[in-house]
Structures are given as structure tokens and as C-alpha cells.
Amino acid sequence: MTATELATAAQSEDSAFVEFWNEVLAPKFIKFKHVLVDGLTQHSEAVFPSLPVKKGDRVLDVGCGFGDTAIKLAKLVGPEGEVVGVDCCDAFLEYATKDAADKGITNVSFMRGDAEIALPAEEFDFVFARFGTMFFANPVAGLRNMRKALRPGGKMVHIVWRQRADNPWLSMAKDVVLQFLPQPGEDALTCGPGPFSMSNEETVKIMMKSAGYEDTELRRVDAPVLVGNDVSDAIAFQLAIGPAGEVFREAGEKAEQMRDEIEAALAEAINRQKISADGIVMDSSSWVISATNPVQ
């Protein structure tokens, strides 16, 4: 599929999840970019030095967000290589395109696409995704599209969150907010299945096998992440994004009426966390999943 066909397919068939990313989450992600990108980077930095990428490779970055990993990959493949970043969210793509231009990186391009529907059908040497695949409503379809974007024998790496218990930076605030507000209902508006949908090792291996990969391996990465520059930044972040943010958003007027009590309880819980010179730090844990597209 060409870039134009891909953009047309994605735009004419936006799913409710893609609309949610564009309309609800994008402004919140932009506001808390300083927290999100720094935290997520801890997990990709742990594997970047050992990624199976060499000079001259063609690389696809799926769910590339603000484009920082695509730009790093573009530096790894050098001027004779090429990186394409795909995301379903216009505002992130705009930021990524401008950032690459400002940095004078010319071997990276960004395009709109829904990975569950289609990805560029060129033969990439390597496909990468940092914290994008857990949002696929149909994970096998998305993972299969990523595999089909690879040349035979090409490699992929995607990074996803491990279980809730090892990710208090995402789960702790939800537990606090649930003391005041109900769980979101079945019809809650969401960005997809959510951060822990690929946390189970056995389930992920079955998904990868069903998508046609071989040699799937999971490596655990633990990293402390910044959740805010100070307590009020951390509270605002938690009530905007992630599982706590979803509970708060879905409760609507009731959440606003209880905002003072909820913020006070969150402040108490956040004050018990580690405080560094940069702000509030909490534990996080990911799987780095690597696999190969079989040679037929």
C-alpha cells in the first residue's frame, strides 16, 4: 500500500479508538509530554544499543507518537537507510514532522495510518513499536500487519507494559481514585484495550504465533519513571492520562464534585513515593518482545 492509499484508508475508516486518540488523548499527551516521553524512553534506552538495526536498513516505527524513537532509529540506520513512522494521531505526526525538520534529519518520514487496518507494504528490515501495540483492539491483526511489513527474515521489537502490580506508576492512582468513584462501565469511551492488554507472557506468545512470527522472546525491563515535576504535576498527570484518568473522566460531573477529596488522597499517596531532584519517581516494568518474520 502506498503512503497516499494508506492515509486515505486510515482517514476514511477511523475507528472509535482512533477518534478517541485524536480528540480526547492528544491534547492531554501534549500537555504531559515531559512526563510521558521521558518515562517511556527509560524502557527503549535499555534496548536501543542491542536492537538488530544496521546502517542502510529500512525501518518502520508503529504508533510512533511524537517521533523521538523514529528519529533515533534514523540516526542508527544513517543517511543510506530510511525510517517511516506511522501513527493514527494527527497532532503527534505534526509534532514529529516538525521535530525531525528542526533537527535536520532527512531520512525519516511520518504518515497517518491505523496499524490494525494497514501498514506500508514495503519490505522493511526492522519493525519497532514502543508502547503502541497494547492499544490494538484486534492485536493479532495489528501484529500481523507489522509482520507483513517485514522482509522475510526481518526482525521486530515491541515494548509493552508488564503486569499492574509491577507498574505502580500506572496502577496506584487508579486504586486511590476508585475509593471515590465507580469503575468505568462497559460502554466507556477508550483508546483501546489499555496498557496491560499484553502483560501476560503466555497470551503474548500465542498472539505472536497467531500473527505468524517465529522465535518470540520476552525480556523484562524495570525502570523508575518520573510521574511529575512535583506533587501537583503528578496529580494532574494521573487524573488526565492512564487508568486513573479514565475513571475520573468517565465519572464526569461526580468526579468534578469530588475533585478536592480525590486530589488530597492522591497527594497523600504521591508524597509516600520517592522524590528526586527532578520530581516524583515511581517503579515501572515492561516486556521487550522480539521476534522474526519467517523465511518462507
Ligand X SMILES: C[S@@+](CC[C@H](N)C(=O)[O-])C[C@H]1O[C@@H](n2cnc3c(N)ncnc32)[C@H](O)[C@@H]1O
Residues that bind ligand X (CB under 6 A): 21, 37, 40, 63-66, 86-89, 92, 113-116, 130-132, 135-136, 192
Q: For the CB of residue 271, give the shortest distance to ligand X in the complex, in Å.
A: 27
Sign of the dihedral through C-alpha 146, 162, 43, 135: positive
Rounded to the nearest 10 degrees, the angle between the axes of helix 259-271 and helix 168-177 is 140
- The distance of closest approach from Cβ of residue 191 to ligand X in the complex, given in angstroms and rounded to an integer, is 7
Grid look-up 497467531 returns: 210
In contact, 86 and 62? CB cutoff 8 Å: yes
Q: Which is nearer to ligand X, 118 or 281 (CB)?
A: 118
Taking the least distance from each CB to ligand X, the nearer of 35 and 86 is 86
Nearest to 37 by CA among 3, 71, 2, 81: 71
Fill in the amino acid letter for 36: L
Which lies closer to ligand X via its Cβ, residue 14 or residue 180? 14
Nearest approach, Cβ of residue 143 and ligand X (Å): 11
**Among candidates 254, 42, 284, 251, which has minimal Cα distance to 172?**
284
Tell the smallest beta-carbon distance from residue 89 to ligand X (Å): 4
Q: Min. distance of Cβ 25 from ligand X in angstroms?
A: 7
Task: Kindly tell me which of 67 and 228 has the beta carbon lying closer to ligand X.
Answer: 67
> Measured from the CB of residue 100, what is the shortest distance to ligand X in angstroms?
14
| Residues 247, 251: Cα–Cα separation, whole Å | 6
Phi and psi based region of residue 272 (left: phi greater than 0; alpha: psi -120 to 50; beta: remaining): alpha
- Closest CB to ligand X among residues 62, 236: 62
β-bridge mates for residue 150, sequence order? 124
**C-alpha span between 195 and 134 (Å, rounded):** 6
C-beta closer to ligand X: residue 154 or 242 = 242
295: how many CB neighbours lie within 10 A of its CB? 9
What residue spans of the chain are helical by DSSP H?
3-12, 16-20, 26-31, 33-45, 68-77, 90-102, 139-148, 168-177, 201-210, 231-240, 242-251, 253-257, 259-271
Give me the least distance between CB of 87 and ligand X, in Å please.
5
Nearer to ligand X, 32 or 213 (CB): 32
Q: Position 126: which residue type?
A: F
CB 132 within 8 A of CB 65: yes
Closest CB to ligand X among 68 and 250? 68
> Which residue of the chain is nearest ligand X when measured via CB?
65
Grid look-up 494532574 returns: 236
At its nearest, how many Å lie between ligand X and the CB of residue 200? Answer: 19
